């Protein structure tokens, strides 16, 4: 506490979930994610996740001070098992020069937006520049948002989609046939979606946390995108597929290698995941070159605060331009130490 408390010079903005929905724009999100990962990303600025676990209630905090932009802050994921599982997401943003609270953002939709945008940036870096046969495992929100994002950075020749629910995969096929302007077929197995595909998108975890594809379904020169195994208990890719990979590109190496169930299982199977895994940052900076025409290339994501903060800042800037959001009636003081 300090007696030299200063009131805010500008009142903070609050963006609701509906505000974020109105403002969300995949091309803009992809652009700010690409810019952030083309700048040096280090553990001091992005220290990883902090967990507080009370058994019934829990909190995960993902802080970041990005090298780009004017804001820094954190996303908190707040859960309670008191009545089933209920979860809320809050992003707090502060000015780098004054430490003033600039905005509070409902992080519900930001999470999906930044994940799809980062996947697009990562996939673009390891995928051939030619029309691709695409296989999609899953038909829900993640599968849809990622298919939309990937279509902005890669050329699709055709798409095959599998979901366990026939009506859902048919609806997906109908929507994206119209939206992408290429043939999108609903198929009756994950194997039918993945076999022979140039790009395989895994966007649906199995109910028993077993892998959703098998290694021998994947072509020797395919790109595989895995975004559904973000905790040690979750599985999406089999260990023998990771063993076949020439490279695994991770949005955050430490969290992917030590926090994803797929990589933990691969290590237990004797696979040298540390040798295989490189950072998206190093690929975009040109420190590591990936041959996009040879070998299996895997993009693996667990998400990080950097992605949340740069996308949330872009949303706040756009909100101020358009007059969207709620200006809060009060802010918090800053103090001189």
What is the domain-level CATH number for residue 242? 3.40.50.720
Q: Is the pLDDT of residue 228 over 90?
A: no
CA distances from 281 to 34, 38, 225, 272 (A): 9, 6, 17, 21
Q: What is the CATH number of the domain that holds 321?
A: 3.30.1780.10
- Is residue 278 domain-shared with residue 181, that is, in the same domain? yes
Quick one: 181 and 320 in the same domain?
Answer: no
| pLDDT value at residue 20 | 98
From its phi and psi, is residue 88 left (phi > 0), alpha (psi between -120 and 50) or beta?
A: beta
Q: Are residues 80 and 136 in the same domain?
A: no
Residues 127 and 273 in one domain: yes
Smallest CA-to-CA distance from 223 within 139, 153, 315, 311 is with 153
Confidence of residue 234 (pLDDT cuts 50, 70, 90): confident
Residues 176 and 91 in one domain: no
Residue 281: closest CA among 118, 150, 75, 153: 118
Examine the domain organization and report whether 150 and 168 are in the same domain.
yes
Task: Count the helices and strands in the chain (H runs, E runs).
Answer: 12, 17
E strand segments, the chain: 5-6, 13-15, 50-53, 57-64, 71-80, 86-95, 101-106, 132-137, 156-162, 184-186, 199-202, 223-226, 245-250, 277-279, 296-300, 326-327, 334-335
Q: How confident is the model at residue 283 (pLDDT cuts 50, 70, 90)?
A: very high
Same domain? 283 vs 325? no
Separation between Cα atoms, residue 107 and residue 308, nearest integer Å:
8
Instruction: Provide the number of structural domains found in the chain.
Output: 2
Gyration radius from the chain CA atoms? 21
What is the model's pLDDT at position 255?
Answer: 87
Interior/surface letters 62-100, b for 16+ CB within 10 angstroms, e for the rest? bbbbbbbbebbbbbbbbbeeeeeeeeebebbbbbeeeeb
Nearest-angstrom CA–CA distance, 151 and 149: 5
Residues 149 and 294 in one domain: yes
For 46-76, how does the pLDDT look when each residue is reduced to its tens digit (9 = 90+)?
988 899 999 999 999 999 999 999 999 999 9
Please give the DSSP secondary-structure letter assigned to residue 284.
Answer: H
Looking at the chain, the whole-number percentage of residues with pLDDT higher than 90 is 85
Residues 323 and 208 in one domain: no
Q: Provide the pLDDT confidence category of residue 314 given band limits of 50, 70 and 90.
A: very high
Measured over the CA atoms of residue 253, residue 257, residue 260 and residue 263, the dihedral's sign is positive
Instruction: Please indicate, yes or no, whether residues 180 and 194 belong to a single structural domain of this protein.
Output: yes
**Is the pLDDT reported for residue 7 higher than 90?**
no
- Sequence length of the chain is 337
Q: Where are the beta strands (DSSP E) in 141-231?
A: 156-162, 184-186, 199-202, 223-226
Tell whether 256 and 122 lie within a shared domain: yes
> What domain range includes position 30?
5-111+306-335
pLDDT at 336: 87
Chain centre distance of CA 107 = 13
The string of pLDDT tens digits covering residues 89-148 is: 999 999 999 999 999 999 999 999 999 999 999 999 999 999 999 999 999 999 999 999
319 φ, ψ to 5°?
Answer: -60, -40
The answer on pLDDT for 5 being more than 90 is no
Same domain, 142 and 78: no
């Amino acid at each position: 506490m300090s007696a030299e408390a200063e009131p805010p010079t500008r009142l903070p903005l609050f963006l609701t979930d509906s505000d974020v929905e109105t403002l969300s724009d995949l091309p803009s999100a992809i652009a700010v994610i690409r810019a952030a990962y083309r700048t040096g990303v280090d553990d001091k600025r992005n220290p990883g996740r902090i967990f507080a676990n009370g058994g019934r209630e829990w909190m995960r905090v993902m802080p970041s001070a990005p090298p780009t932009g004017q804001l820094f802050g954190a996303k908190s994921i707040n859960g309670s098992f008191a009545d089933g599982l209920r979860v809320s997401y809050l992003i707090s943003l502060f000015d780098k020069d004054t430490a003033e609270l600039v905005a509070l953002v409902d992080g519900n939709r930001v999470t999906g937006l930044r994940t799809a945008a980062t996947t697009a940036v990562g996939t673009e870096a390891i995928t051939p520049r030619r029309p691709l046969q695409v296989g999609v495992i899953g038909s829900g929100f993640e599968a849809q948002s990622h298919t939309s994002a990937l279509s902005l950075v890669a050329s699709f020749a055709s798409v095959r989609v599998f979901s366990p629910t026939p009506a859902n995969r048919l609806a997906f096929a109908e929507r994206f046939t119209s939206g992408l302007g290429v043939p999108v077929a609903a198929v009756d197995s994950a194997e039918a979606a993945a076999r022979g595909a140039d790009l395989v998108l895994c966007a649906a975890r199995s109910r028993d946390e077993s892998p959703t594809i098998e290694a021998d379904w994947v072509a020797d020169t395919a790109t595989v995108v895995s975004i559904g195994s973000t905790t040690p208990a979750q599985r999406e890719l089999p260990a023998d597929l990771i063993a076949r990979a020439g490279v695994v590109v991770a949005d955050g190496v430490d969290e992917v290698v030590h926090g994803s169930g797929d990589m933990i299982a691969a290590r237990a199977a004797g696979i040298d995941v540390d040798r295989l895994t490189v950072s998206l940052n190093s690929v975009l900076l040109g420190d590591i070159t990936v041959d996009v025409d040879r070998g299996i290339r895997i993009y693996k994501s667990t998400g990080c605060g950097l992605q949340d903060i740069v996308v949330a800042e872009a949303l706040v800037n756009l909100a101020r331009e358009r007059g969207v959001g709620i200006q809060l009636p009060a802010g918090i003081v800053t103090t001189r130490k």
